[in-house]
Amino acid sequence: MNKENVGIIEVYRVYRDYAKQIFYITFSIFTLSIIYSLVATPLYKSYVSIYPTNNDSNLPSSFAGLDGIASTFGFNLSGSDASTFNFPDIVNSRRLKKEIVLKKWDSELYENPVDLVDYWKLNEPSFISNIFSLKPTPQDHLQNLAIDHLSTLMTVYEHESGMITISLLMEDPTIAAKIVNYISDWIQIYISDEMSFKATKNRKFIEQQLLSAKADLYDSEEELSEFMKDHPLSEEGPEEFTERARLMRNIEVNTQVYITLKQQYELNKIEELKERPVLNILDTGDVATEKSKPLRTLIVLASTFIAFFFSGFMMYCYDGIFKKGTKV
């Protein structure tokens, strides 16, 4: 068939000549889409919305130098640890998903609480396993299957404003709400524990520096005391005056370092013990009252339109091949 003949008239002719075939194909797909939308397991969506908390620095401006020195040793004294955590990465971590999979959840489908491996019946032998008498699937592999399936149902979206939405689709709306709320609580506890650990680490670092500064201050004071015993003020010359000024300057510097470290040590002791709100929960997970999937109307309409145009394309190709064959 020449390309010049391809046009609206040609398309109309194909749909007119093969109307019966196109109707049968379209009607078959239409029927299958209705059956699928009715048989497919309904999924219910629940979500939480959170805002990370911006922790302001606890260091006065005079401590900026100390913060820089500590950072060279891998310690953060600024108190802004929460901003270093990436919340989507935490939600997508295998550690969190494994805890969700292994945790027992109350479900209306079971009398007793079940984990997600049992809930999704992943531990039940398949038809092929029964025929060939295969060994039961290892528990670790079942957990991996449950984690992979959970990943396909979970969505994490980070908005430009900084808000993070964590949504989950589940067959049981109650479990979906419980899991997303569990995720927000788990993130809160995890980051709070990590920040407490870092605060303890910082406190120990400052404590060591404080002991060293105290020893330096004591040595400088002893050095000045010994110098004053050997060189009274009445016998002091230019060299002795210069040496005395140097020793007194060392005491002033060591005193300032000790005071700064002592203040920061007390601040870190408080930081270590206090509770830190690391996120603000805007929306908690509620039990969905309407299913989110499958979208039956959309599935039926989309399948019907696709089948209608695809069947027309098939008949157009068939018509071209058939006519070409008859001419030969």
DSSP state of 73: T
Residue 13 has pLDDT above 90, yes or no: no
pLDDT in tens, 256-292: 998 988 888 888 777 766 666 667 888 888 888 888 7
Lowest mean pLDDT among 77-86, 99-108, 175-184, 282-291: 77-86
Cα–Cα distances (Å) from 223 to 10, 18, 214, 294, in that order, read 106, 108, 14, 83
What pLDDT score was predicted for residue 278? 67
CA separation for the pair 231, 200 (Å, rounded): 46
What pLDDT score was predicted for residue 73? 44
**Domain boundaries along the sequence of the chain:** 1-40+294-328, 41-293
Residue 109 DSSP SS3: coil
CA separation for the pair 179, 101 (Å, rounded): 10
What pLDDT score was predicted for residue 54? 62
Lowest mean pLDDT among 9-18, 177-186, 281-290: 9-18
- The pLDDT-based confidence of 1 (bands split at 50, 70, 90) is very low
What pLDDT score was predicted for residue 34? 85
Q: For residue 31, give the H/E element and its range.
A: helix 19-39
Closest listed residue to residue 268, CA positions, set 215, 212, 217, 208 = 208
Question: Between 19-39 and 8-17, two packed helices, what is the crossing angle to 10 degrees?
Answer: 80
Positive or negative CA dihedral for 178, 180, 185, 187?
positive
Q: pTM of this prediction?
A: 0.63
DSSP state of 114: B
pLDDT in tens, 119-152: 888 876 555 544 444 555 678 888 999 999 999 9
User: CA neighbours within 13 Å on the CB side: how many for 3?
Assistant: 0
Question: Between 19-39 and 296-327, two packed helices, what is the crossing angle to 10 degrees?
Answer: 150
What pLDDT score was predicted for residue 328? 43
DSSP state of 103: S
pLDDT > 70 fraction of the chain, expressed in percent and rounded: 79
- The pLDDT-based confidence of 58 (bands split at 50, 70, 90) is very low
What pLDDT score was predicted for residue 100? 94
Residue 66 has pLDDT above 70, yes or no: no
Overall CATH class of domain 41-293: alpha beta
Cα–Cα distances (Å) from 40 to 34, 109, 122, 167, in that order, read 10, 17, 18, 20
Helix and strand counts by DSSP (H, E) for the chain: 11, 4
Residue 301 has pLDDT above 80, yes or no: yes
CA separation for the pair 240, 258 (Å, rounded): 27
| Number of residues assigned to the chain | 328
- The pLDDT-based confidence of 234 (bands split at 50, 70, 90) is low
